[in-house]
Chains A and B, each alone.
Chain A
Amino acid sequence: MLESNYTMAEEARETLAMHPQKFAMWLFIVSIVMLFAAFTSAYIVRQAEGDWLFFELPSLFWSSSLILITSSGTMHWALVSARKDNLGTLKLAISLTTLLGLGFLVMQFLAWKDLVTNGIFFAGSQANPSGSFLYVITGVHGFHLISGLVFLLIALYSAFTYRIHAKNLTRIEMCATYWHFLDILWLYLFGFLLLNN
């Protein structure tokens, strides 16, 4: 509006800019990283104070990790299919990802049941903070995974209504970013728990 009144003006430089929604997604991921940084550092601080119960991690965590890694693979497959406009494989891949995500949650729940049968409780007089921390860390991760599943279901719905294709990738790209992040976050948490046990 204003510069139009001047007959001669040098060109103003373009500023750096990214896709705002994708950028905001990355910032959201940063806040989740900080949340788990808080939990894991609290874990270390508390462990250093002694009176800490050491126990075997449920072996189901290995299988659930495998499932989650596979789901990351299928998620990537979905993304690649969407880029190539293979809408049939996109639907298959994204459905598989959703199922694997659900499978992961079921495995985590079964792992909790294993913990309880082994006498590792979340709360109560027999609980040690080491067990409580395990429940909180896996539980809060599970909660975020549910949010990822909701995102996946939205993407699934858009895939089945043909709203995701090579020219409309934002939604599935953001979904993939979030899903891979949740996968990597779990691998970090599992590795952290393994190293500190």
Chain B
Amino acid sequence: MATEFNLTTHVEVDHQHDHDHEHHEEGFIRKYIFSEDHKMIAKQFLFTGLLWAFLGGAMSVIFRLQLGFPDLELGFLKPILGSWIDETNKLDPNYYLALVTMHGTIMVFFVLTAGLSGTFSNFLIPLQIGARDMASGFMNMLSFWFFFAASLVMFASLFLETGPAMGGWVVYPPLSALPEAVPGSGSGMTYWLISMALFIISTLLGGINYITTVINMRTKGMSFSRLPLTIWAFFLTAIIGLLSFPVLFAAALLLIFDRSFGTSFYLSDIYIGGEALHHQGGSAILYQHLFWFLGHPEVYIVLLPALGITSEIIATNSRKPIFGYRAMIGSMIGIAILSFIVWAHHMFVTGMNPFLGSIFMFLTLIIAVPSAVKAFNYITTLWRGNIIFTPAMLFSIGLVSVFISGGVTGIVLGNNALDIQLHDTYFVVAHFHIVMGSASFFGFMAGVYHWFPKMFGRMMDAKLGYIHFWLTFIGIYLVFFPMHYIGIAGFPRRYYSFTSFQAFNTFADLNMFISVAAILTFTAQAIFAFNFVWSIFRGRKAPLNPWNANTLEWTTPRLPGHGNWPGKIPHVYRWAYDYSKPNADKDGFTDFIPQHIPLSQTPHSNLEYENELMQKQNVTDDLKVNE
């Protein structure tokens, strides 16, 4: 413990020294609204993302009411939903589709892409690599405001008379291209496309900045082999986004031309009311190829940051070095590469050549290997660790759980023969809600609980965190596990109601059960909302390094100002995972040695190669002097 206090005082002393140098106050607008500071932008992403998460979650509750209680009178929702509830006090089927579509779009793009990557990439990249800010603060600010504009357009589309987009979050043409098909394909779809175009620009601006910062702005000594796994994950996520989002942009642009300019990229031979449309020669499958070339990497854009956050939190709270650091990096790179060559497994039943399907099946199943490497490394890091169950740690372990149980069903779905039965059923819904939705959400929550002290200088309440975790963890399994059975029985997703199908009546109870569980899980999030808001203002003041972690962000003052470190930026002399290093006590350390401690300060605990490394670096230093 003595060491910790020592370090703390060093920081404080230096802090006072350089205080006046950092004390130029910015105006309210520059500081809180059009801020170029990465920490403020991260918080902007966090708040916007969380608001969207609650809205998207509330939407799922409404359509779960319809699915679980098909006879329920929904008149009491009229004050909120207005004409979406029809005269018979039922949810209008069109607006059911709108809710499903918006829930998907919001959760995938606005919450788990912008909310997760936007928050933690922005917040942690400069702090953990030892940089004053992002490579371009201005681009970073633009990135948030493009996202905000996208949010506004998407939100506005909810209030259109014809409703928001209704073609599912994948917006396949021709359904999404023809206003005659469904009301939401009118101006709702136009709003959707505008919003997504803005969103893609935001993601590209952010991604370019993240990559540039990680490569060019690292502090001295922060080599790639010493980067915390969080940074590796954000870095690879940004690369995936940079390569895949332009393709979605291309797909959306061609869809815009088809919808508004009369081209026929995706449309052909369509008759409405006996009248042939003029569109000739288009291919709807082409859209699916383009969409899923983004769509599949998008899964990993959502998941990798959560895995990176988990790696960091599990190592810290197991008080052990992460097991297989290089294997973790390798598996993330493997996942990133594979994510680009498996997109057609979403299209097994589009009439694809079965031989081609087998190739995509093979490539898809290979992803199980790096994924399993990650899962095993998490478990072996936990194994015989000195585990501290903070709320963040519980969410991280929860992530490992859902990552495994959702990943296993991925192996089932990746088979092109089995997919004939399971395609577009609730089995798919269960699979991706567990492995992509819940896992990323757990990573998001773990990150919020873990870095809340650094963001707001206060601690979140741990007891409320535990209650939140257990209700959420049990809740999501109660919601999504039964869906596998419903899916195997053949329930198609996106259907308004199953009561008219004799075969599905036996599952009415199970659907009701899922809906009740979904409502309870959603309600449990109120505990988080309260804890989050309350702790920002009233939480216990955070110590400088509440989790005894090694990474650089914990060497900053409690509330880091513009530029992050009041004095010089610390240099880095070791990797981020020197937890419970043997003989560290002889060097005056407890069970962790932060990254900025030189090897020469820890002669007893240094390993053989570290001593050699130290010697070498001193030698090169001498040579420099001689020159």
Contacts and interface: CB of A to CB of B under 8 A. Distances in A.
Interface of A: 1-6, 8-21, 23-24, 27-28, 30-32, 34-35, 37-39, 42, 45-46, 49, 51-52, 122-125, 127-129, 132-133, 136, 140
Contacts of B290: 38, 42
A39 B565 CA distance: 46
Contact of A35 (B249, B278, B286, B599): B249
Nearest to A15: B218
B330 interface: no
A127 B567 CA distance: 65
B435 interface: no
Contacts of A132: 257, 263-265
Interface of B: 7, 10-11, 14, 18, 135-136, 139, 204, 207-209, 211-213, 215-223, 242-247, 249-251, 253-254, 257, 261-265, 278, 280-283, 286, 289-290, 293, 555, 565-573, 596, 598-601, 614, 617-618, 620-621
Contacts of B212: 20, 23-24, 27
Given A15-B220, A27-B208, A42-B290, 8 more contacts: A1-B570, A3-B568, A9-B600, A10-B573, A10-B599, A31-B245, A46-B283, A125-B278
B486 to A, nearest CB: 35
Contacts of A6: 598, 600-601
Nearest to A8: B600
Contacts of A124: 262, 278
A21 B262 contact: no
Contacts of B209: 24
A13 B220 contact: yes
A38 B286 CA distance: 11
The 7 closest A-B pairs by CB, nearest first: A1-B567, A12-B221, A38-B250, A125-B278, A12-B571, A123-B262, A9-B598
A11 B617 contact: yes
Kindly name the residue among B250, B282, B617 whose own CB sees the greatest number of chain A CB atoms within 10 A.
Answer: B250
Contact of B571 (A3, A39, A128): A3
B251 A38 contact: yes
Contacts of A125: 278, 280
Contact of B250 (A16, A20, A42, A123): A42
A72 B7 CA distance: 57
Contacts of B218: 15, 17
A35 B223 contact: no
A53 B135 CA distance: 48
Contact of A10 (B135, B283, B567, B614): B614
Contacts of B263: 122-123, 127, 129, 132, 136
A9 B614 CA distance: 9
Contacts of B10: 2, 5
B598 to A, nearest CB: 4
A90 B7 CA distance: 56
A164 to B, nearest CB: 21
A128 B618 contact: no
B600 A10 contact: yes
A126 B243 CA distance: 35
Contacts of A12: 219-221, 571-573, 598, 617
Given A17-B216, A20-B212, A31 B204 contact: yes
B262 A42 contact: no
Contacts of B213: 20
B570 A2 contact: yes
A14 B220 contact: yes
Contacts of A14: 220
Contacts of A35: 246-247, 249-250
A46 B265 contact: yes
A2 B215 contact: no
14 contacts: A3-B571, A8-B598, A8-B601, A9-B571, A15-B222, A20-B136, A27-B211, A34-B246, A45-B289, A124-B278, A129-B281, A136-B257, A136-B263, A140-B253
B135 A20 contact: yes
A128 B281 contact: yes
A34 B240 CA distance: 11
Given A15-B220, A17-B215, A49 B283 contact: yes
A27 B339 CA distance: 20
A42 B570 CA distance: 49
A33 to B, nearest CB: 8
Contacts of A37: 247
A5 B257 CA distance: 63
Given A12-B220, A28-B208, A42 B286 contact: yes
B148 to A, nearest CB: 21
Nearest to B268: A51
Nearest to B267: A129
Nearest to A4: B568
Contacts of B220: 12-15
Contacts of A51: 280-281
Contact of A3 (B247, B250, B598): B598
Contacts of B253: 136, 140
A2 B14 contact: yes
A45 B247 CA distance: 14
Nearest to A1: B567
A48 B617 CA distance: 59
Nearest to B249: A35
B568 to A, nearest CB: 5
A158 to B, nearest CB: 18
B281 A38 contact: no
Contact of A23 (B7, B216, B254, B289): B216
Nearest to B200: A31
A29 B263 CA distance: 28
B216 A31 contact: no
B14 to A, nearest CB: 5
Nearest to A43: B286
A33 B172 CA distance: 25
A28 B209 CA distance: 10
Contacts of A133: 265
Nearest to A124: B262
B56 to A, nearest CB: 27
A34 B247 contact: yes
B236 to A, nearest CB: 14
Contacts of A23: 135, 212, 215-216
A129 B223 CA distance: 50
